[in-house]
Chain A
Amino acid sequence: MVNSFEFNGQQIEVDHQGYLKNVADWQESMAPVIAATENIELTEQHWEVIRFVRNFYLEYKTSPAIRVLVKAIGQSLGADKGNSKYLYTLFPVGPAKQATKIAGLPKPAKCL
């Protein structure tokens, strides 16, 4: 069974947990739609993390696990943001899980 949702008149394929099947299907205007399914209203702080994980994936072709996300965000956005407390405030269910989903990436295999 293929899951999908409609976006701007196009059928976007997702897996059974709602992660996009094709990374290339994503565009920024789709993020608030996916975020809504996670009960998250996007702020500039969310966007900073979403763009970060999206770029991480495009560079390394892998979604970052939470520890790595914390470390890498600390290095590029500053220590006040590179801690799991801050990231969990933005993405309560799990920053690696939710930020990657909203960024149109596959679910991190190496994530709790």
Chain B
Amino acid sequence: MKSVAIVFRHAPFGATSGREGLDLAMLSASFEQQVSLIFTDEAVLHLIGGQTPEQAGAKDYLSALKALPLYDIDTVLVCSDSMQLLGLKASELNIEAEVVSADVITKTLQAVDEVFVF
């Protein structure tokens, strides 16, 4: 079993990268890879509640985030610097996720076998 970290760094909807990253995450997890997700920069916006992707002309891929525990993806890290920069609070996150300092993300990137950035 390999450990994989998938980093999301782009805002939702503007690019398809978020959806592609999530597809890779769920695909890897269904092949029993140990998957961690890391949200940084404007990608942290994927995690806040009350979004209506269809209104922005995007497919609703955010609903799939709620299924992460079923895929045994239990490590979801959110960059606290990015949260702070955007004025977001941990209580606004729509799914189970840990808001962590950059240091924790650095350690995670070092520890895993592979890192993919979306």
Query: Do A and B touch each other in the complex, judged by CB within 8 A?
Result: yes
Q: Please name the residue on chain B nearest to A60 by beta carbon.
A: B67
Give me the interface of B with A, judged by CB distance under 8 Å.
Answer: 23, 26-27, 30, 32, 59-61, 63-64, 66-67, 70-71
Question: Per DSSP, are chain B's interface residues mostly helix, strand or loop, or mixed?
Answer: helix
Do the beta carbons of A62 and B71 come within 8 Å of each other? no
Report the minimal beta-carbon distance from A18 to chain B, rounded to whole angstroms: 22
In the assembly, what is the distance between CA of A62 and CA of B60, in Å? Answer: 9
Q: Which residues of A lie under 8 Å from residue B67 when comparing CB positions?
A: 56, 59-60, 62, 64, 68
State whether the Cβ of A72 lies closer than 8 Å to any Cβ in chain B: yes
Do the beta carbons of B63 and A65 come within 8 Å of each other? no
Given contacts A61-B59, A110-B26, 7 further A-B contacts (CB under 8 A): A56-B67, A61-B64, A65-B30, A67-B32, A68-B30, A68-B71, A72-B70
Q: Please name the residue on chain A nearest to B62 by beta carbon.
A: A61
In the assembly, what is the distance between CA of A68 and CA of B34, in Å? Answer: 15
Which listed residue (A60, A67, A72) contacts B64, Cβ 8 A? A60
In the assembly, what is the distance between CA of A72 and CA of B69, in Å? Answer: 10
Report the minimal beta-carbon distance from B100 to chain A, rounded to whole angstroms: 26
In the assembly, what is the distance between CA of A71 and CA of B69, in Å? Answer: 11
Do the beta carbons of A110 and B27 come within 8 Å of each other? yes
Question: Per DSSP, are chain A's interface residues mostly helix, strand or loop, or mixed?
Answer: helix
Q: Please name the residue on chain B nearest to A57 by beta carbon.
A: B63
Which listed residue (A56, A61, A67, A109) contacts B60, Cβ 8 A? A61
Residue among B26, B27, B30, B66 with most chain A CB within 10 A: B30
Do the beta carbons of B64 and A66 come within 8 Å of each other? no
Report the minimal beta-carbon distance from B60 to chain A, rounded to whole angstroms: 5
Chain A residues 2-60 with CB under 8 Å of chain B are 56, 59-60
Do the beta carbons of B23 and A109 come within 8 Å of each other? yes
In the assembly, what is the distance between CA of A68 and CA of B31, in Å? Answer: 10
Do the beta carbons of A110 and B23 come within 8 Å of each other? yes
Do the beta carbons of B64 and A62 come within 8 Å of each other? yes
Which listed residue (B59, B61, B70) contacts A68, Cβ 8 A? B70
